[in-house]
Structure 1
Amino acid sequence: MITALNDITFEHPQWFWLFLIFPFLIAWQFYTYNKQNATVKLSSLSGFSGDQGWLSKLKPILMVFRLLAIALLITAMARPRTVDVSTQTNTTQGVDIVMAIDVSASMLARDLKPNRLEALKEVASDFVQARPTDRIGLVVYAGESFTKTPITSDKRIVLNALNDIEYNTLIESGTAIGMGLATSVNRLKDSEAKSKVIILLTDGVNNAGFIDPKIATELALEYDIKTYTIGLGSNGMALGPVSIDRQGNFNYGRVPVEIDETLLKEIANKTGGQYFRATDNDKLEKIYEEINKLETTEIEEFKFYNYDEKYRVLVLIAAFLLLLEVLIKNTLLRSFV
């Protein structure tokens, strides 16, 4: 099978510096070539007119053979070879993660760009792609909650589900933090992963649902599920939806940002997680990067290298050229050298 040039590597490329002497070798070959030809002074060359024999014209080939052989030997010393690398990955500790996302109308506020929900989707997508060996699921909640995607190792499914998340009027209005957390716990309680994590994000206070957030926290604690909580929204006032016009479009106005940070901190502290506050796009991105570092997955990667040495062929060709030079010099060109 023909090996592509870009697949060849050199173990000792420093030998290529020897090619710098090639101009001097060529000059020396031409110099000695003229010295090897004997000269005879005659008063007239009329008796020697006519074409030289074809054998005498082969003499410069000896120099070419010798230079090619030297070039091949230098390349052989650089030790050209190809390598076939096979990788075996062993995940020694997996993490199952559920992202619980608030999809209430307030998530359309524009204190993050273009709005809170779209900013979250972009950052969460990067987070999913950064966890190739973990299983991830999605829970969305407003006044009620439901599972958008069960925990799965197929990141394409999770990313598509994230991209499809949007505010709609089919979900009961409000912010049911307790139900969002409880639904997430339900997705993870039977998991056999060594680490189970919920990332719960909201931009409001618990004002809906029939499950108290403290009850949901106790459930997470019982099933050893760590919960990271994120409060999303700028401090003070933000441009958010305040009403809907006849065409079904939101009218925006300045509204206060109300986040129950006390509750979110309590959920995180009791379950062994952390609470974060994201007031802009950059902080939201850094929070997910921090969580990504905190929840590491131990991976063992074994690489196996199979080298195919190519220098032997070059040495054989070089030896053949030198032998050919000696044979031609002592047979066909014996009368001319």
Structure 2
Amino acid sequence: MIFTNPIALYLLPLALIPLFLGVQRQEPYPSLSGLEPDRLSLAISWALRIAGVAAIAGLILGMAGVALRERTIERFGQGAHIVLLIDRSASMNDTFAGRQPSGAEESKSSAAKRLIKEFVVEREHDRFGVAAFSTAPMHVVPITDHKDIVLNAIDAIDRPGLAFTDVGRGLAMALSMIEEDVLQGSRAIVLVSDGVAVVGRKIQDALRTEFARRPVHLYFVYLRTEGSNSMFAEPAPGVEDTPQALPERHLNKFFQSLRIPYHAYEAENAEAIKSAITDIGKLEQTPLVYNERIPQYDLSRWAYVLAALALGLLLAAKLCERTLKHPGAPSHAA
């Protein structure tokens, strides 16, 4: 426990006063030696004395600002440390049909945001980081267990994006975020993009080196626009098979060449995105040790509640006092 105003604790000895001074009105009696001990009256008397102690102690502890100290608890669960790498290029603002959303239609970005948020909420023990990329990568939120911060960051991914897709530098940033995370556990990058990107040769070599340094699982959710090329399809005869002509296919081939656990998903609608994210959740179920931070908890309100209840009991006892008069006998309190 901690106290925000510890000087008030110097008053705490005052709580012992009811143990030595009765809380009820005293009445004179000639002698009680001839009467049997009244255990009920004795119990009530001590109960009222203890209530007096509780009332004074509660008020003093409330003034002292008693609270439980912030602490960290080590817990165990199933999950992973996941960086959500979100494409924010201009093409993500279109629907899966390749046009601006209208009416009940939603953009690829909006659909991805909605379903990723559901994924974050459902994953009880996972820790998440968020990065975005278009012309340049953007470090949004480091890997954390604060789900509210992660959800707010995801809410921003459907803002208007820029024209280009630099997925290579986006991956480099995601890897640096994983490098900064010191807690033990499985690491994963979930890349959500519509895939129209070419990774330069120098960046490919740098990424190969970085992926070889650390065990990371890579998941690529390719949001395929209607009529665009599949990243799994072989080129037709006579079609130029180059990264510039078929960027989705060559991006997938590059990921396959990294020699890391890699899974690719091709989504042509919101239902397919949900299916891909559900599958990722099933795959990322390794044992995980994580620290749960318990914030400081104010106990002063409960100290005042205790004091109020004790004072209520004392007030009720005081209101119940009666003076009984008998012929030839002194007045006494019941």
TM-score of the two chains, using structure 1 as the length reference: 0.52
Q: How does 1:279-318 map to 2 (within 5 A)?
A: 279-298=268-287
Change (3 A) 1:275 1:217: farther
* SS of residue paired to 1:174: coil
Q: Select between 186-195 and 261-270 the one with higher mean Cα deviation.
A: 261-270
Alignment match of 1:221 (pick from 212, 217, 223): 212
Contact (CA 8 Å) 1:200, 1:228: kept in 2 or not?
A: yes
Contact (CA 8 Å) 1:95, 1:194: kept in 2 or not?
A: yes
Deviations 1:199-249 (A, max 9, x none): 1121133248896245224312311111111211234159xxxxxxxxxxx
* SS of residue paired to 2:180: coil
Contact (CA 8 Å) 2:190, 2:221: kept in 1 or not?
A: yes
Aligned to 1:182: 172
Deviations 1:101-139 (A, max 9, x none): 100000012116401000000110011012121110001
Change (3 A) 1:210 1:175: farther
Higher-Rg member (1/2): 1
CA distance in 1, matches of 2:253, 2:199: 19
Aligned to 1:111: 96
Q: How does 1:94-173 map to 2 (within 5 A)?
A: 95-111=80-96, 113-168=105-160, 173=163
CA distance in 2, matches of 1:103, 1:234: 15
Contact (CA 8 Å) 2:187, 2:217: kept in 1 or not?
A: yes
Aligned to 2:249: 261
Residue identity in the other structure for 2:173: T
Aligned to 2:225: 234
Contact (CA 8 Å) 1:203, 1:232: kept in 2 or not?
A: yes
CA distance in 1, matches of 2:266, 2:142: 27
CA distance in 1, matches of 2:271, 2:160: 27
Residue identity in the other structure for 2:96: D
CA distance in 2, matches of 1:271, 1:212: 17
CA distance in 2, matches of 1:288, 1:122: 12
Change (3 A) 1:286 1:176: same
CA distance in 2, matches of 1:144, 1:156: 25
CA distance in 1, matches of 2:74, 2:178: 25
Contact (CA 8 Å) 1:177, 1:205: kept in 2 or not?
A: no
Q: How does 1:266-277 map to 2 (within 5 A)?
A: 266-268=254-256, 270-277=259-266
TM-score of the two chains, using structure 2 as the length reference: 0.52
* SS of residue paired to 2:164: coil
1:185 is displaced (CA, Å) by 0.1
Unaligned runs of 5+ in 1: 1-87, 239-256, 301-337
Aligned to 1:64: none
Change (3 A) 1:281 1:216: same
CA distance in 1, matches of 2:80, 2:288: 12
Question: Aligned pairs, how many?
Answer: 193
CA distance in 1, matches of 2:191, 2:220: 5
Q: How does 1:3-152 map to 2 (within 5 A)?
A: 90-91=75-76, 95-111=80-96, 113-152=105-144
